[in-house]
Structure 1
Amino acid sequence: MAANFVELVRLRSTSQPDVYVSCSNPEKMGNPADIAYGGCVQALSVQAAFKSIEARRELHNFEIHSLLGVYLGPTLADRKVKLTVTTIRNTRSFATRRVTCTQLFNDGSERSTFTATIDFTAPNKIDNAKAGAPFTRYGRKPRMQYAPPEQLPSMTDIVLRKVQERKVNRQAADYLENVVFALSKKVSVSVFPPQGLHAQNAIGLDPLAESEQHSAKLTDRFSVDWVKSLQDLSAPPHSPAESAVQPTDFKDVGAPLSVSTASANASFVAFMMDGALSFIPLTFSRMTLTDASAVSSLDCALRFFSVPDMNDFHLREMQTIQGNDCRTYSEAFLWDRNQSMVASMTQACILRPHLHKL
């Protein structure tokens, strides 16, 4: 397993231009199925797209604008990911890449698991302040003013309190922290304002927890947390320790590549913003992940509104918008401390009940 986030997304070069292989296996999180967390493959795709952009001098200052992705099949957590980058366009204002992720199976075949169109833009050079509204920055704000992150408990603190109050048993608490969300604990720091539903029900661990939100419609319920990178992303290590580079079955694989500050931060946002959106219809409905037979993302749309710096805490709110025919649609928003929106994520997901309960 990767030692930290940078090693999780670090890529190796190959003998083919714009084709890369992950140094580490993607890891599991959140989903009860034995597959890798979708945020891993999104983060790797962002990293591969950045490599293609950074290789061209005229594009080196371009900023990531969006990722529009489709999950083609489960990404397995016991093998590397190959990422093939195709150039769609290069202009003075935009650069577009298509990234296709595949994995190698024991019979020698490759299967595609995820594909994304990732857009980059040249930095804006217009002084919007002189243009006035609506050309100046505007945006939706968080639902309310929350306490600063330094004053708030982590999920570990919340769960420990519930164990002490005998609302949650110790075995379930340990499983949540050390298995289900172990990857999150390894790469990020999160704290939870008490107004959010996940702070009240411990991300579904205490599904019957009382909450004023349950009197509201499902689409009006929300969770909120402050999150930042555990690792300093301002100066990622240029190369990993030799022991951190795991063997791969892919041929013609070269040396591990460096990870830039910009690509590390963008990859971290992709990784983090994927979290929980597939299962919040359950945890917002007094249920847990085990109450569904299938819970996973189908497609995703991540948009950046400014260059992220995930070394500092950012505020994230999540809500579910629509559900029908075993599919749901949910969204998350990310703000910096100044309440300027940094990114948004929308996802269509699959949510199937257990057949024996129908």
Structure 2
Amino acid sequence: MPQRHPAPRPGRAPARPASAPKDPTDMLRGILELNRADADPLTGQPRFTGTTPRQAHGRVFGGQVLAQALAAASRTISADRAVHSIHGYFIRPGDALQPITFTVETLRDGRSFSVRRVLATQNEKAILALTCSFQEPAEAALDHQVAMPEGVPAPEELPSTADVLGRINHPIAQEWAWARPFDIRHVTPAIYVDPAPEAENRNMVWMKTFTPLADDPALHVAALTYASDYTLLEPVLRQHGVAWIQPGMSVASLDHAMWFHRPARADEWLLYVQHSPSAQGARGLGTGSVFTRDGTLVATVAQEGMIRMPEGAAARRARLQGAAQRFALRTVLRRSWRR
């Protein structure tokens, strides 16, 4: 039987804090508006700079630097060539307090395809290397796609991240609840606090920006790239009964690839269907398919992440600490619903 969200408890929805942005999607618009910088003094390659909004944990969100790198590459491409794939490696954690420089190298401009390589740096050290390929429009000689899963609840029937985390007075919970530019709704109960009740290597979320974006296809592709990094490792955690608040766990994205099949708007609901085919050697692999609401497959995603768990005595302490954390959080949530 599929997991279901618990029935709503009596009480009001969590109130938006006064400090929360009125439109979180404005943050996304801001980070994708890159500034042109001086060309590289040695190679003459074009460079752009981007900023990072305030982050509770101090590190740059991986989806952000991916989206900015793609936006930088798109600034060097003719508007009639759309991106069809990206392949990136995360090299170092990014510092949210420092600007990021994106240097774009032209690898090829052919009759139908253009290829760019983007190096994202902070303080002259690489944090991301991204290769992306663009294609002129072509006739569809062959066309097929996998089907979207059937019987998936509509996003309007599911709780938002604010519904799940908005009452937890912790900076990361508050940031995820109120400051992320995308509305994320889990089809089965989210594993922010509690692990999945049943082991399964599958995860599904609906997602879209909170407010409409401009009618620019490159903007929507960059926005989708940003959102694709939110939950892609959750199938690994679900399979092993692990929640995001697991004490002692260390998670980091290692690489990220996307193939863009058909156009879509990131400000309309998209279903992100994710699986994990394997986890081993402190690494877990997540794959995903993105569908429009009418069932059109628009993108395929793959990411490998480092997932390190505590061992030995540290693991035993982590289990006790995790149980205490979950009990405390459930107590807070129950009290907040009674008010």
TM over 0.5: yes
Residue 225 of structure 1, CA deviation: 1.7
Which residue matches 2:327?
none
Q: Distance in 2 between matches of 1:182 and 1:332?
A: 25
Deviations 1:5-36 (A, max 9, x none): 110221111121520001x225548xxx6421
Does 2:218 correspond to 1:263? yes
Which residue matches 2:108?
89
Does 2:331 correspond to 1:351? no
After superposition, the Cα gap between the structure-2 partners of 1:303 and 1:181, relative to the gap in structure 1 and judged at 3 Å, is farther
CA contact (8 A) 1:68 1:302 kept: yes
RMSD: 2.4
Which residue matches 1:313?
269
After superposition, the Cα gap between the structure-2 partners of 1:34 and 1:10, relative to the gap in structure 1 and judged at 3 Å, is same
CA contact (8 A) 2:27 2:53 kept: no
Residue 228 of structure 1, CA deviation: 1.0
Which residue matches 2:174?
178
Write out the 4+ residue segments of structure 1 that deviate beyond 6 Å after TM superposition. Answer: none
CA contact (8 A) 1:278 1:296 kept: no
After superposition, the Cα gap between the structure-2 partners of 1:175 and 1:286, relative to the gap in structure 1 and judged at 3 Å, is farther
CA contact (8 A) 1:292 1:351 kept: no
Deviations 1:143-184 (A, max 9, x none): 323233233332333457xxxxxxxxx536x55541345542
Match among 142, 148, 170 for residue 142 of structure 1: 148
Q: 5+ residue gaps in structure 1?
A: 54-58, 105-109, 129-134, 161-169, 236-260
CA contact (8 A) 2:82 2:218 kept: no
Residue 118 of structure 1, CA deviation: 0.5
What pairs up with 1:188-267 in 2 under 5 angstroms? 188-193=182-187, 196=188, 200=189, 202-207=190-195, 210=197, 213-214=198-199, 218-219=200-201, 222-235=202-215, 261-267=216-222
Q: Determine helix, strand or coil for the equivalent of 2:80.
A: coil
Does 2:259 correspond to 1:303? yes
Q: Distance in 2 between matches of 1:65 and 1:146?
A: 28
Residue 264 of structure 1, CA deviation: 1.3
Does 2:159 correspond to 1:153? yes
Residue 42 of structure 1, CA deviation: 0.3
Q: Distance in 1 between matches of 2:219 and 2:54?
A: 17
TM-score by structure 1 length? 0.73
Match among 245, 249, 260 for residue 293 of structure 1: 249
Q: 5+ residue gaps in structure 2?
A: 1-20, 40-44, 317-339
After superposition, the Cα gap between the structure-2 partners of 1:86 and 1:171, relative to the gap in structure 1 and judged at 3 Å, is same
Q: Distance in 1 between matches of 2:53 and 2:277?
A: 29
Which residue matches 2:48?
20
What pairs up with 1:12-91 in 2 under 5 angstroms? 12-16=35-39, 17-22=45-50, 24-25=51-52, 28=55, 34-53=58-77, 59-91=78-110
TM-score by structure 2 length? 0.77
Q: Determine helix, strand or coil for the equivalent of 1:171.
A: coil
Q: Distance in 2 between matches of 1:178 and 1:103?
A: 27
Q: Determine helix, strand or coil for the equivalent of 2:75.
A: helix
Q: Determine helix, strand or coil for the equivalent of 2:227.
A: helix
Deviations 1:198-254 (A, max 9, x none): xx2x333122x64xx43xxx43xx22121112232124xxxxxxxxxxxxxxxxxxx
Query: Relative CO higher for 1 or 2, CA cutoff 8 Å, sep ≥ 6?
Result: 1
After superposition, the Cα gap between the structure-2 partners of 1:82 and 1:96, relative to the gap in structure 1 and judged at 3 Å, is same
What pairs up with 1:96-115 in 2 under 5 angstroms? 96-104=115-123, 110-115=124-129
CA contact (8 A) 2:161 2:176 kept: no
Deviations 1:263-322 (A, max 9, x none): 211111110011122354224433223344320111111110012211211111122111
Share of identical aligned residues, percent? 21
Residue 262 of structure 1, CA deviation: 1.9
